[in-house]
């Protein structure tokens, strides 16, 4: 039986035609019309006016922090329960990540805790330069209170929507909150360019500046003139062609991942000790990954025992993100609570969730878990 992966790339079927068009046009570099079109199509989809396609989501995060003016010694608050790339970018600019705990309603940054602590930081003159709010596993954070608090205190908000393209919050698309947002088209995300990302947002000056920095910061002069240290962070025309084919298929992918989640819930939701990541009432989750917690004494098995069982059957599953405040790379960083994220990590499992997962394949996973 073939190995089952957590979230493998899936072709939409139109990639070859798009890439062939790009090759036939001869325009494979620099940048090109597919990059412009991919950006425009993403803006229309997410409902934001400006975009800069990048070589990765991490590059987009780095650019977002640079143009937001985050520099050495600044504090940047972010969720502790996320992929390391979120906080790595904070360190690229020499800033200090401050990690905020999750809530159980969405597994994202606890909005009550965040609002309270930001108000305290305002009183003690220790406000962060920026906040990076993460939309985890295809679900938006509770953005209204977080956006309002950042506005009230004049703190820049960056939305890390790498895992949440296609999700909504109170009817608005993930990626349309905050002054800037980032998306990822890494191979395991809901759409992929094989590797890529995008910085999007409502501030033209910042997105223009990001595009400038991402193209080696070349000034418009005949000779090579550079006033800033630049980066080589842009997406290629060929990969943008792949991204356009994938983006056109996004709705089907969301439907497929939601159906997979629904099927897992029906099969496993009533097992003792099992609890799936809730879908908060404020939005629609894509369930990029289906995640659940397994409480050991009641469930009769630990998270790791289930992972071992799946691995033995050639099924890839993973623990929930290890909170960043527990990572050696971020040892010593300030953490605002963290116990909820620690518990979600201790008991949390991510199940195969790719949009190409067939019902018979999913049944293999389910049978293995029921044991």
Binding site for ligand PLP (CB under 6 A): 56-58, 82-83, 85-86, 134, 160, 162-163, 184, 186, 197
By C-beta, is 273 or 319 nearer to ligand PLP?
A: 319
Q: Where are the alpha helices (DSSP H) in the chain?
A: 15-24, 33-46, 57-67, 84-92, 111-123, 143-153, 204-214, 237-247, 250-268, 296-299, 303-312, 339-347, 359-370
CB of 198 to ligand PLP, least distance (A): 9
By C-beta, is 82 or 335 nearer to ligand PLP?
A: 82
- The Cα–Cα gap between 292 and 274 comes to 7
The answer to whether 163 touches 187, Cβ cutoff 8 Å, is no
Check residue 235 and report its DSSP letter. P
The answer to whether 183 touches 246, Cβ cutoff 8 Å, is no
Check residue 275 and report its DSSP letter. E
* Integer CA distances (angstroms), 171 to 11, 111, 166, 266, 283, in order: 28, 19, 11, 26, 7
CB of 87 to ligand PLP, least distance (A): 9
CB of 184 to ligand PLP, least distance (A): 3
By C-beta, is 86 or 335 nearer to ligand PLP?
A: 86
By C-beta, is 8 or 273 nearer to ligand PLP?
A: 8
Residue 371: Cβ within 10 Å count: 10
CB of 169 to ligand PLP, least distance (A): 16
By C-beta, is 159 or 274 nearer to ligand PLP?
A: 159
CB of 28 to ligand PLP, least distance (A): 21
By C-beta, is 22 or 136 nearer to ligand PLP?
A: 136
How many angstroms from the chain centroid is the CA of residue 194? 16
CB of 348 to ligand PLP, least distance (A): 15
By C-beta, is 85 or 369 nearer to ligand PLP?
A: 85
Nearest to 187 by CA among 14, 355, 7: 7
* Integer CA distances (angstroms), 311 to 121, 317, 358, 365, in order: 45, 8, 19, 10
By C-beta, is 86 or 353 nearer to ligand PLP?
A: 86
- The Cα–Cα gap between 132 and 160 comes to 6
Check residue 102 and report its DSSP letter. B
Nearest to 103 by CA among 139, 128, 129, 127: 139
- Which residue's CB atom is positioned nearest to ligand PLP? 57
CB of 20 to ligand PLP, least distance (A): 25
CB of 132 to ligand PLP, least distance (A): 9
């Amino acid at each position: 039986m073939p190995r089952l992966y957590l979230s493998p790339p899936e072709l939409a079927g139109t990639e070859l035609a798009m890439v062939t068009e790009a090759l036939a046009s001869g325009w494979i570099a620099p940048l090109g019309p597919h990059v412009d079109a991919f950006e425009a199509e993403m803006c229309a989809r997410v409902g934001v006016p400006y975009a800069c396609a990048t070589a990765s989501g991490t590059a987009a995060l780095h650019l977002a922090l640079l143009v937001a003016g985050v520099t050495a010694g600044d504090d940047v608050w972010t969720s502790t329960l996320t992929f390391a790339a979120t906080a790595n970018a904070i360190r690229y600019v020499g800033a200090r990540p401050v990690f905020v705990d999750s809530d159980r309603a969405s597994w994202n940054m606890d909005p009550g805790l965040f609002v309270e602590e930001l108000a305290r930081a305002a009183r003690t003159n220790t406000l962060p330069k920026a906040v990076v709010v993460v939309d985890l596993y295809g679900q938006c954070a509770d953005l209204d209170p977080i956006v309002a608090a950042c506005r009230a205190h004049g703190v820049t908000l960056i939305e890390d929507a790498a895992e949440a393209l296609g999700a909504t919050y109170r009817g608005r698309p993930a990626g349309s909150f905050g002054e800037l947002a980032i998306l990822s088209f890494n191979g395991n995300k809901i759409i992929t360019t094989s590797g890529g990302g995008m910085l999007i947002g409502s501030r033209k000056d910042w997105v223009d500046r990001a595009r400038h920095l991402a193209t080696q910061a070349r000034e418009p002069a005949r000779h090579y003139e550079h006033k800033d240290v630049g980066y080589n962070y842009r997406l290629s025309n060929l990969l943008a062609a792949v991204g356009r084919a994938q983006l056109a298929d996004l709705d089907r992918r969301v439907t497929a991942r939601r159906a997979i989640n629904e099927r897992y819930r029906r099969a496993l939701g009533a097992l003792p000790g099992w609890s799936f990541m809730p879908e908060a009432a404020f939005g629609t989750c894509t369930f990029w990954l289906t995640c659940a917690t397994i409480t050991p004494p009641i469930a009769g098995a630990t998270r790791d025992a289930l992972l071992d069982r799946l691995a033995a059957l050639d099924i890839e599953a993973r623990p929930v993100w290890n909170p960043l405040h527990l990572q050696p790379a971020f040892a010593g960083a300030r953490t605002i609570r963290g116990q909820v994220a620690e518990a979600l990590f201790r008991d949390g499992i991510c199940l195969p969730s790719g949009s190409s997962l067939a019902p018979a394949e999913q049944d293999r996973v389910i049978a293995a878990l029921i044991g």
